[in-house]
Amino acid sequence: MEWLTSIRTAIDYMEKNLEEDIGVQDVAAQVFLSPFFLQRGFSLMTGYGIGEYLRNRRMYQAALDLQKTDDKVIDIALRYCYDTPESFTKAFSRFHGASPVQVRNGAKIKAFLPLKINISIHGGSQMDYKITPMFPFKVIGFQKIFDNETAYAEIPKFWDEICRKYADSVYAGNPPANPYEQALVDNCIGEYGVCIDDVGGGKFRYLIAGKYTGGKVPNGMVLYEFPRGEWAVFNCVGPNPETLQSVNTQIFREWLPGNPGYELCGNANVEWYDCVNGEMTDSDYHSAIWVPVKKRS
């Protein structure tokens, strides 16, 4: 499905099911996309996560119901997927700045209307990328699970944590002192950041990884194998994480809407970091984003 059509179809499905207990998994199934790619793209294009959009729309519709009907608060709470009037009232008051009772008595509400997606393409076809086939490859790394809505802020903290625990010593020239530091050296861990969408619930796995060269996998580290396929490889030049995040935004806002030949596939993508030349904060630092794609039928 064409990218803009996918986003518009997702919004239409959510609008028709505000009174149903749906989430990102359900929405992604409607547009045949990985929940990770849909959530990432939707957030970058609209500024809202899937869950946040659903909550905001339900809160607005609930306020309209309070204004226009005599329905009980508990009935409206259940209608919009809240288990108790207490949880509904708390969320409602946080969103509108007024309680359900106050709104029923005339307090102002916060409007949140359905989104309309219109894209103006600027330079999408001029992005520095290539489509390249890749043989199967296996990575090894340190893993943590992240929420789609907070990942941009939390993943850099994960990198800092792993560097402090395992990388700083060997980068300073000391020999590996434990199996984790040995694995880091043997497999160049830190060359890849890998997002894998197989957790569900609006979350995904993230690996600070390197290409697996064989040998024992230390307890707590994980392996992941990518199948053979085609990838769109986007070159990035500049300090990180800002440059990677900027290019990632361009991919979803410009390249996908403006690219007639390829669409997303699979459930994982890769960030590549140059582990040999320069520092991540350098203005000419090289990195890349690898996205699995297939030719559009």
Q: What is the pLDDT of residue 206?
A: 96
Q: How many CB atoms lie within 10 A of CB 140?
A: 25
Give the angle subtended at the CA of 196 by the CAs of 194 and 199, to the nearest 5°.
145
Q: What is the pLDDT of residue 144?
A: 97
Inter-residue contact 127 to 234 (CB < 8 Å):
yes
Mean pLDDT of the chain: 90
Ranges of the chain whose pLDDT falls below 50 = 121, 123-125
Q: What is the pLDDT of residue 258?
A: 80
Max Cα distance, the chain (Å): 72
Q: What is the pLDDT of residue 56?
A: 96
CATH number of 124-295: 3.20.80.10
Which pLDDT tens digit goes with each residue over 38-84?
A: 988 998 888 898 999 999 999 999 999 999 999 999 999 999 999 99
Q: What is the pLDDT of residue 119?
A: 59
CATH number of 3-104: 1.10.10.60
Q: What is the pLDDT of residue 118?
A: 67
Inter-residue contact 65 to 71 (CB < 8 Å):
yes
Q: What is the pLDDT of residue 125?
A: 46
Residue 187 Cα distances to 180, 219, 246, 289, angstroms: 11, 16, 28, 20
Q: What is the pLDDT of residue 256?
A: 87
Q: What is the pLDDT of residue 253?
A: 87
**pTM to 2 decimal places:** 0.78
Q: Which residue has the tokens 């993230």?
A: 206
Q: What is the pLDDT of residue 47?
A: 87
Q: What is the pLDDT of residue 172?
A: 83
Q: What is the pLDDT of residue 208?
A: 97
Where are the domains positioned within the chain?
3-104, 124-295
